[in-house]
Amino acid sequence: MTERIRSSAVAGAFYPADPDELAALVDRLLGEVRPSEREHRPGALIVPHAGYVYSGPVAASAYALLRGATVARVVVLGPSHLVPLHGAAVSGMEAWATPLGQVPVDDELRARAVGVGARRNDRAHQPEHSVEVQLPFLQRVLADPFSVLPIVVGVTEPEPIADLMDALHGPDTLIVISTDLSHYHDAASARRLDRRTADAILARDPSMIGPEDACGVFALRGVVELARRRGARIRLLDLRNSADTAGDPSSVVGYGAFTLDL
């Protein structure tokens, strides 16, 4: 039987298509992060998903905490930007490919996700960048090979997404929430709006995260709800926007990086 591999949809656009160039870029972004005090590996990350020139430095602030870590399985949840979707959809592929190689999809986690209400829907995954752009960071930072469960999340309430993550999380599993924050405000307005969203995340209050506050709002609310249930600590690592990295200050996209001790 022919392997079913999901090939990159945005290599050459959101990040370099050349493997050596991509590896060097990710390593540089990670290397620019100031080393943190030694701490245990977080159970979840919230990271942005724009082109690396824009959001890469912010995403790196979270991924740098995983340098050399052993993580067997990673669940990545992002929004479906291009295909209308309700609920959560898992990839039915056997592996996902980036210029840095293939990452196998975790069959056991996929079956568990379907058992709690997720559906298989590769049509939603095929053009989507929100999950894909996280993989090169994971490929460069983790010490050992890992499997992944790609999930795109459409319109839904926080509770079922929290239930889904609760069923998938474990001591060998990292959860990654892929989301940008406010979109297309001027830089000053974006900083104000994104600070309000960050405060809601830190307060573990999903009801205070509005539909325009993050493009990945449904997965974001879900992980905040899970943190609320568990009384988990959430820490803000970085909060910037595209004007701070490479963009026009008259119309920006906001980015935040957080860790959660689930």
Hey, what's the torsion of the CAs at 157, 43, 96, 21, to 10 degrees?
120
**pLDDT at residue 68 in the model:** 82
**pLDDT at residue 1 in the model:** 38
CA distance 11 to 20: 13
CA distance 194 to 101: 34
**pLDDT at residue 37 in the model:** 55
Radius of gyration of the chain (CA): 17
CATH class (in words) of the domain with range 42-260: alpha beta
Closest CA to 138 of 208, 218, 69: 69
CA distance 108 to 220: 24
**pLDDT at residue 90 in the model:** 98
CA distance 107 to 227: 26
Q: What pLDDT, in 10s, does the model give residues 32-52?
A: 998 765 566 899 999 999 999
- What are the phi and psi torsion angles at 71 (to 5°)? -130, 120
Q: Which residues contact 13 (CB under 8 A, 6 or more apart)?
A: 51
Is-contact 169 43, C-beta < 8 A? yes
DSSP the chain: ----EE--SSBTTTB-SSHHHHHHHHHHHHHTSPPPPP-PPPSEEEE--S-HHHHHHHHHHHHGGGTT---SEEEEEEE-SSS--BSEEE---SEEEETTEEEEB-HHHHHHHHHTT-EE-HHHHTT--TTGGGHHHHHHH-SS--EEEEEEE-B--HHHHHHHHHHH-BTTEEEEEE----EEE-HHHHHHHHHHHHHHHHTT-GGGS-TTS-TTHHHHHHHHHHHHHHT--EEEEEEEEHHHHTS-TTSEEEEEEEEE--
| Under-70 pLDDT residues of the chain | 1-3, 36-40
